[in-house]
Chains A and B, each alone.
Chain A
Amino acid sequence: MILEVLEFGFMQRALIAGVSVAITSSVIGLFLVLRRNSLFGDALSHAAFGGIAVGLATNIYPLWTGLALSILGALGITKLRQYAKIPADATVAILLSSGLALGILLISLSGGFTLDLFSFLFGSIMLVSVEDTLAILAMTGIILSIIILLYRQLMYITFDEEQARVSGLPISKLNYLFIILASVAVIVSMRLVGILLVSSLLVIPNVTALLFNKGFKKTALISVSISIFSVVAGIAISYAANLAPAGTIVLVSTAVFLTVLAARHYSKKKQVVKKLEEARS
C-alpha cells in the first residue's frame, strides 16, 4: 500500500517539498534557538501574512509579496533594535502584530477569507504544484549552500558576537544576510505547515536535538533527522487517518520531543542510582 501511495504525483511532491522544508527550517532554526530568538520565525511569518494579503489584494504572486514584507519587516526591526535599543522580544511583538494587523485589514477590505489565504494560514502540503516544488527545492539549495559556506562565521556570531566582531567578521552584513535567509526559510516552510505553525518547525526539532548534549554539527544533524522524520511520518499519518497534515506534522515533532525528554529524565535517574550504588559498594 505504501508503494502505491508513493506513485501518486501529489504524494511525491509533498514528500520532496516536505523533506526540503524540514532540512531548511531545522538548520535556520538552530541559529535562531541558540540566539534566544525562537519567536523570530513567528514574527517573520506574521509579517509574511500581511505581505500575502497584499499580494492577493493586488493580484501579485502572494509568496513574493509575503517574502518582500517579511524581509523588510525583519530588517526594519533589526535597525530598530540597534538604534532605539528596544529589547529583542518587544521588537518581535511589534513585527508580529503589525504584520497580522495589515493582513486582517486587507482581508476585511477584500471581503473576507479566501481559499488561497486559508491555505497559507494552515498549510497545503498535499496541494503543492510542480512549480512550487521546484521553487522550494531551489530556495532550499540556495539557503543550504550559503549556510554551509558561512557556517563557521554564523556559529561564531551565535557563540559570542563581541568576540566575532573583534576577530574582524563583518557582523552587520552577516546578520542581515541571516535575516534574509530566515525570511526565505519561513516563506518556504509556510507552504508546508502554514503561517500559524511555521515557528514549530524552526524550534521543536532543535530544542529536541539540544537535549542530546552533542557538539554543533551533531546537534544540527540530529535536528535535521528529527525534522525529516516528523514531516514524513506526519504526512503518512495524516494521509492514512485523513487528518490535517500541518497539525499532524507538528504534533509528531512534539511527540518526539516529549519522548526524548522522558528518555533523558529516565537515563539521568538511572545514572544517579548507579552512582549511589557504586559509592555504597
Chain B
Amino acid sequence: MQIVEIDRLSYAYSGNLVLDNISFTIEEGDILGIIGPNGAGKTTLFSCMLGLLDDYTGTIKILGENIEKKNNKVFKSIGYIPQKKTIEQNFPATVEEIVSLGVTTTGKTSKEKIALALETAGLFAQKDRRVGELSGGQQQRVLIAKAMVNNPKLLILDEPVTGIDLEMQNKFYSLLQKLNQENNITIIWASHDLDAVNRFATSVACINRSMFFHGKTIEFFENPDLLKAYSESSMQAHMHLHNHTYRG
C-alpha cells in the first residue's frame, strides 16, 4: 500500500524555484531518508506535505487522500518532528503534559495511550520531570512520544538529531527502527548524515530542488558515480549559498 504519492510537485518562493517537479511514492513500512544540501527544499517539501504551505502545483496524496481536501483524519495520522529546536527552558510543562498534547481523545484510553507512548520512548521514569530540564536528545524523544500517542501511520522527521551527541543520536535511530518494525510506522526522515541514512533507511530520495535520485538505499550507496555526483552537487549548493551570504 502506498502511504505517500507525490506527483509533479513544484513550489516557488519570492521568484525562486524551491521545488521543481518532484515525484515519488512511499510504500507502507518504508523508512525513506531524504538527503540534500542546505536549501535543497527538504523542509519546504515537508511543509507542503503537512499542509503548512498550500500555494504549490502538483498533487500530494497521503493515505490515498489528496491533502488539499484538508481532511483532519489524514493529518491526525501523521506525526511530525520539526527541525531540532530547543524547547524553552522555562516552559512550565512536565514530560507527561507535553506527550498528552498529542492526544485527540479523552478519558481512560487517552491515559493508557500516554503511558504506552512514554514507555515506548523510554521516558516513563522521567514523566514528571519538566521538559526544559531534559537534554536535547531526551527532548526529541519527548516529541517522538507526543507524535506516537495517536498511533500515527506516518512519521515525518526534519533533521531531528542536529546538535545532539552521538550516543543519543544512536538511541534515537534505534527508537525509530523499533517504531518502524514493531508498530509498522512509515517514516520519512530528512538528514545530512549519510552514514545514518545508509544504516537505517530502506530507501533514499536525494533532492536538490529537483529529484536527483530515488530508490533503494543500497542502490545509492553502492554506486560511486551517484555518491560522487551527490557530493559535487552538495558542494555547488554550498558554494552558491555562501556566495549569496557574502553578497547579502
Contacts and interface: CB of A to CB of B under 8 A. Distances in A.
A216 interface: yes
A33 to B, nearest CB: 10
Contacts, number: 58
A70 interface: no
Contacts of B90: 210, 213
Contacts of B64: none
Interface in B40-62: 50-52
B92 interface: yes
Interface of A: 34, 152, 155-156, 159-160, 162-168, 209-210, 213-219
A166 B50 contact: yes
Contacts of B51: 165-166
Interface of B: 50-52, 72, 75-76, 78, 80, 82, 90-94, 96-98, 100-104, 128, 130
Nearest to B106: A152
9 contacts: A155-B93, A166-B51, A166-B52, A166-B78, A167-B104, A215-B94, A215-B97, A216-B92, A216-B93
A168 B150 CA distance: 12
Contact of A152 (B52, B80, B96, B100): B100
Given A168-B76, A210-B92, A214-B130, A155 B82 contact: no
- Determine chain A's interface SS by DSSP, over half rule: helix
B91 A168 contact: no
Contacts of A218: 92
Nearest to A215: B94
B221 to A, nearest CB: 31
Given A166-B52, A213-B130, A216-B92, A159 B98 contact: yes
A155 B101 contact: yes
Nearest to B156: A166
Contacts of B50: 166
B62 to A, nearest CB: 12
B91 A166 contact: no
A167 B130 contact: no
Nearest to B50: A166
B93 A162 contact: no
A164 B100 CA distance: 12
Contacts of A159: 91, 93, 98, 101
